[in-house]
Amino acid sequence: MLLASAVVVWEWLNEHGRWRPYSPAVSHHIEAVVRAGPRAGGSVVLGQVDSRLAPYIIDLQSMNQFRQDTGTLRPVRRNYYDPSSAPGKGVVWEWENDNGSWTPYDMEVGITIQHAYEKQHPWIDLTSIGFSYVIDFSTMGQINRQTQRQRRVRRRLDLIYPMVTGTLPKAQSWPASPASAASPAAPPCSCPQCVLVMSIKAAVADGGTGLLQPPAARKNMPPPGAVKLPPQPGPGAKPLDSTGTVRGPVKTVPSQAIRRQASSTPAGVTAGSPASPPGTNGKTGRVALATLNRTNLQRLAIAQSRVLIASGVPTVPVKNLNGSSPVNPALAGITGILMSAAGLPVCLTRPPKLVLHPPPVSKSEIKSIPGVSNTSRKTTKKQAKKGKTPEEVLKKYLQKVRHPPDEDCTICMERLTAPSGYKGLQPTVKPDLVGRLSRCGHIYHIYCLVAMYNNGNKDGSLQCPTCKTIYGVKTGTQPPGKMEYHLIPHSLPGHPDCKTIRIIYSIPPGIQGPEHPNPGKSFSARGFPRHCYLPDSEKGRKVLKLLLVAWDRRLIFAIGTSSTTGESDTVVWNEVHHKTEFGSNLTGHGYPDANYLDNVLAELAAQGISEDSTAQEKD
Instruction: Please give the pLDDT value at position 434.
Output: 93
| Cα atoms found within 13 Å of the Cα of residue 60, Cβ hemisphere only | 26
| Residue scoring higher pLDDT (380 or 62) | 62
Instruction: Please give the pLDDT value at position 263.
Output: 35
Instruction: Please give the pLDDT value at position 92.
Output: 93
Residues 6+ apart with CB under 8 A from 396: 471, 472
* pLDDT for 284 beyond 50: no
DSSP code of 368?
P
CA 513 – CA 559 distance, rounded (Å): 10
CATH of domain 481-616: 3.30.390.130
* pLDDT for 353 beyond 90: no
C-alpha separations of 170 from 79, 80, 188 in Å: 8, 8, 30
Q: Which band of pLDDT confidence, cut at 50, 70 and 90, is reported for residue 93? A: very high
* pLDDT for 591 beyond 90: yes
Instruction: Please give the pLDDT value at position 171.
Output: 45
CA 142 – CA 309 distance, rounded (Å): 55
Residues 47-76 have pLDDT tens digits of 888 888 888 888 888 888 888 766 678 889
Q: Which band of pLDDT confidence, cut at 50, 70 and 90, is reported for residue 453? A: confident
CATH of domain 91-157: 3.30.720.50
Task: Kindly give the residue spans of alpha helices, DSSP state H, lying in 342-486.
Answer: 390-395, 446-454
* pLDDT for 294 beyond 70: no
Residues 6+ apart with CB under 8 A from 63: 75, 76, 77, 174
Q: Which band of pLDDT confidence, cut at 50, 70 and 90, is reported for residue 352? A: low
* pLDDT for 188 beyond 80: no
* pLDDT for 615 beyond 80: no
Residues 6+ apart with CB under 8 A from 419: 431, 432, 445, 447
Helix (H/G/I), strand (E/B), else coil: 81: strand
Helix (H/G/I), strand (E/B), else coil: 542: helix
Instruction: Please give the pLDDT value at position 168.
Output: 58
* pLDDT for 147 beyond 50: yes
Closest CA to 535 of 488, 571, 471: 488
Least confident of 111-120, 181-190, 252-261, 298-307: 252-261
CA 413, 417, 420, 421 torsion-angle sign: negative
Task: Kindly give the residue spans of alpha helices, DSSP state H, lying in 441-517.
Answer: 446-454
Mean pLDDT (whole number) for 95-116: 90
Task: Tell me how far apart the terminal alpha carbons of the chain are, to the nearest angstrom.
Answer: 67
- Residue 495's beta-bridge partner residues? 492
DSSP code of 86?
H
Instruction: Please give the pLDDT value at position 487.
Output: 96
Instruction: Judge contact between 608 and 474, C-beta under 8 A.
Output: yes
Of the chain, the percentage scoring pLDDT greater than 90 comes to 34
| Residue scoring higher pLDDT (167 or 74) | 74
CA 550 – CA 276 distance, rounded (Å): 72
Q: Which band of pLDDT confidence, cut at 50, 70 and 90, is reported for residue 429? A: confident
* pLDDT for 492 beyond 70: yes
The pTM assigned to this predicted structure is 0.48
Query: Quick count: other Cβ atoms within 10 Å of Cβ 371?
Result: 10
Domain 390-458: what homologous superfamily?
Answer: Zinc/RING finger domain, C3HC4 (zinc finger) (3.30.40.10)
Mean pLDDT (whole number) for 411-421: 89
Query: Quick count: other Cβ atoms within 10 Å of Cβ 386?
Result: 5
Instruction: Judge contact between 310 and 248, C-beta under 8 A.
Output: no
Residues 308-328 have pLDDT tens digits of 444 444 444 443 434 444 444
Instruction: Please give the pLDDT value at position 336.
Output: 60
- The domain locations on the chain are 91-157, 390-458, 481-616
Q: Which band of pLDDT confidence, cut at 50, 70 and 90, is reported for residue 35? A: confident
Q: Which band of pLDDT confidence, cut at 50, 70 and 90, is reported for residue 180? A: very low
Residues 6+ apart with CB under 8 A from 24: 87, 90, 158, 159, 160, 161, 162
Burial of 182 (0-12, 13-18, 19+ CB in 10 A): exposed
Q: Which band of pLDDT confidence, cut at 50, 70 and 90, is reported for residue 562? A: confident
| Residue scoring higher pLDDT (549 or 265) | 549
